[in-house]
Chains A and B, each alone.
Chain A
Amino acid sequence: MGFQKFARGTAAMALVMGAATAAQAEPLKIALVETLSGPQASTGLLYRDAVKYQIGKINEAGGFGGEPIELLEFDNQGGPVGAADRVRAAISEGATVILQGSSSAVAGQVTEDVRKYNLRNAGNEVIYINLGGEAMELTGSKCHYYHFRTSPNAAIRVNTLLDGMKEADVLGDNVYAMNQNYSWGVDVQDNTVAAADRLGFTVVEQTLHDVNKIQDFSPYVQRIQAADADTVITGNWSNDLLLLMKAASGAGIDARFGTAFLDQPGNIGNAGAVAEGHFLSAPFNPEVNPEETAPFMEDYKSVTGHYPSYVEPATVFGMMLLQEALKEVEPTENGLNAADLAVALENATAETPMGTISMRGADHQAILPMIVQEVSLDAQYKADDTEYGFVPIKVISAADAEQPVQDSCQMKRPG
C-alpha cells in the first residue's frame, strides 16, 4: 500500500467520520427551570409561554446547527432547594443553557449553582440566562461570567419611572417610598432615595413592610396621607400591590402610584378603576411602534392564546438576544461550547419592536429601552377584559435607561 493510497483512505475515512459526527450531533438542549406548580406558579407559567414562543420562532428559522433546539422543562417547585435539584437534573440531561425568571431567591440559588458547577467542570460550562430575577446583587456582588440578565433591574426600573413621571410633570415634590422588606424592595427604596437630588424631589418617608403577609394596608395608607405625599414609588407586586392601591383608593387618597409590576395579569381586573392614573415602567407597551408591535401581538396571541403582557415581552426579547448570539456560534457534537456562546452573548444585540437591546459585557446586564406608561381608559389594548389598559407616556431609549455598572461586580473572565 503506497503512501498516497493510505493518505487518500484516511482522508476519506475522516470525511465519513466527520459527516457521521455532524449527523449525530446532539441538538442544543435548553432547560427552563421554572416554578410551574404551587402558589407562585402563575408567573412561572408566563415565562414558559414566552420561552416556548420564541424557541418555536428560532426553530422555524432553522434551529441551531441544522437541528431544532430542544426545550426541557423542569418544575423548581417554587424554592431554592427544588431549583438546585432541577438545575442538576437539567445539566445531567445535557442542557447547556439554563433559563429561569420568577423569584430572585431562586435566581440567587441558580446563579451560584451554575458558578460552582463551572468551577468544577472547566471545559464543560453551562450558561444561566436570568429572565427576570431583578435583584441588584445578581449583577453586583454575585455577578459572574456565565450569568446573563435579560430583564431590567431595580435601578433601571426606578430611574426610568422617576424620569418619565418627572417629564410628564406628575411626580410632584413629595415622594413616599413604600416597599416590601427584602432585597428587591430595599433596592427600589435605595434607588428612589438616590434619585432625589438629581430630580429635585423630597423623599418624605420610607417604609418597608412584611412580604405577602399583610391583609390590611389601611394603617400604611394613613402614613402616606400623614406624610402628605404626591407620589408613592413602590416595587410591590401581586397582592401587596393590589391591597395597597385598593386601601389608598378607599381612603380617597389622590397620591399617584409609580410601580414596577402593575401589569401583572389579574391586577387591573381586580383593581378596576382604582388603578386608573397610576404609572408603570416596563420594557414593553403594545402602542409603541405599532407597525412592528401589532403583528408581534397578534402572532403571539395566535400561538399562546393571549396577548403578551407582564414578563412575557421582555422574555421574548431576551430569547431574541440568545437567538442572535447563537448565530455566531459553531455547533459541536455536544450541542455547543458554552464558552463560545458566552463570548457571543456578551456582544449580542437584537432588534425588537421596542428598539435595539444589547448585552453589556461588564456585568452582563441587558441594556434595553423602557416605556413609562399610565393606566387609562384610552388604551388600545385592554388589560384583563376591563376597559383599562396602559398608555405610553414616554419611551426611554436603551442608552438613556442604562444605569452604571455596580462596583461590587468583580467579574472573573476566563483566560
Chain B
Amino acid sequence: MDQILFALLNGTIYGLLLFMVSAGLTLIFGMMGVLNFAHASFYMLGAYFAYTLQPLTGFWLAIILAPILVMGVGILVERFILRHVHEHGHAHELLVTFGLSVVIAEMIKMVYGKFAVDYRVPAELNFAAFSLSGIDYPFYRLFMGGIAVVMFIAIYLLLTKTRVGIVVRSAIYRPQMVEALGHNVPMVFMGVFGIGAALAGLAGAVAGAFYTTNPNMALELGVMVFVVVVVGGLGSMGGAMAASLLIGITNSLAVGSDFRIADILILIGMGGWAEEIGGLLTMRMSSLAATLPFFIMLLVLVLRPSGLMGEKE
C-alpha cells in the first residue's frame, strides 16, 4: 500500500514538473500554432541563470530573477526571430526554433563546459518532509509540486477572471477577430511567449537544483513536453495539467511493475509459447517505461486528435 502511495506521489510530482515546463508551450502552441522546439531550452536557461546568480543573490532571489531573464530572452526571440519567420509558415517557425535550440545548447556548453554544473538544493531546504515505512520523502519535491500548483491556479485565474485573460483566450481561437476588435495581437503574442518562456525558466531554476543542471537537460525533456501538449490538447491549460499527471503517474507505476505480456498469455495457456518467442512478449514493463508516453500520444492522436481537453483541431 505504501508502495503504491509513494508511486502515486512521485508520479504526481514529476507530472507537476512536466506541467510547469509545458504550460507556456501549450499557450504558445494554441495561440500561434508554433511547435516551439526551443521551449525546453528556456527550461535549461532558467537552471543555468539561477546557478550563475545563486552565489551573488542567494537561492531565493536567484529563482525569482532567473525566470525574468529567461523572459527577456524569450521576448527577444519572439520579436526579432519568430515574428520575422511567421509569414513563411509553421514549418519554418518550427525549424527556426530547432536551430535556436541547437545554438542555445552550444552556447551553454561554451560558457559552462560540457559536464553537469554544481547547482544543488540549498541546505536549508534539504530535509525530509515525512517518512513512510522507512523511506524519507524530500521536502524539496513537495516544494516543486507546490510551485507548480500555485502556478496552475495563477494562470487559471489570470486566463478566466481578467480582461487580459479573455483577450489571450480569444486570440487563441480567433486571432483575426481579436485583431479586428482593435487589440494588438502581435503584442499579445510577444507577451504570452515571454511569459511562457519565464514559466519554463522557473521550472528549470527550481528543478535544476533537484535533478542535474547539464547541457543536455533540454534534450532530455524536450520531446516529453511536446507529448504533454499534444495529449492535453492545444491551448488547454487543464488538458496540459491532466496530461502531465497522466504521464507522470503511468511512468511511475510502470517503473515499479514487473508485468509482462507473457503473463497474460499464461492465463490462456500460451505462456510457454510466449517465453519461446521472447522479444516484446517477455519484456518487463519497468524497462519499457520510457516508451509509454509515446504510446499514449499515439493512442490519443488516433482516437481523439484534439487531445484530452482540447477543443480546437
Residues of A participating in the B interface, judged by any CB pair closer than 8 Å? 39, 41-42, 45, 181, 207-210, 212-216, 218-223, 225-226, 239, 242-243, 246, 250-253, 264-267, 269-270, 272, 384-386
Contact = CB atoms under 8 A, between A and B. Distances in A.
Given A209-B289, A214-B290, A269-B116, A250 B255 contact: no
Given A242-B212, A267-B116, A251 B136 contact: yes
Interface residues of B, number: 47
Contact of A250 (B138, B212, B213): B138
Given A213-B290, A239-B220, A266-B115, 8 more contacts: A219-B11, A222-B7, A225-B135, A246-B211, A246-B212, A250-B140, A250-B141, A266-B214
A239 B135 contact: no
B217 to A, nearest CB: 8
Interface of B: 3, 6-7, 10-11, 13-14, 17, 109, 113-120, 128, 131, 134-138, 140-141, 210-216, 219-221, 248, 251-253, 255-256, 284, 286-287, 289-290
Nearest to B6: A222
A251 B256 contact: no
Contact of A215 (B14, B119, B253): B14
Residue of A218, A220, A223, A265 most packed against chain B (CB within 10 A): A218
A386 B128 CA distance: 24
A37 to B, nearest CB: 9
B116 A266 contact: yes
A265 B120 CA distance: 16
Contacts of B13: 216
Nearest to B7: A219
B3 A226 contact: yes
A223 B138 contact: no
Contacts of A41: 109, 114
A222 B116 contact: no
Contact of B212 (A209, A220, A239): A239
Nearest to A207: B286
Nearest to A386: B118
Contacts of A42: 113-115
A219 B292 CA distance: 15
Sorted nearest first, the 6 A-B pairs with minimum C-beta distance are: A266-B115, A252-B136, A42-B114, A250-B138, A219-B255, A210-B290
B121 to A, nearest CB: 9
A189 to B, nearest CB: 12
B213 to A, nearest CB: 8
24 contacts: A39-B219, A208-B287, A213-B290, A216-B10, A216-B248, A218-B6, A219-B251, A219-B252, A219-B253, A219-B256, A222-B256, A223-B255, A223-B256, A239-B214, A239-B220, A242-B212, A250-B138, A250-B140, A266-B116, A266-B118, A269-B115, A269-B116, A269-B118, A386-B118
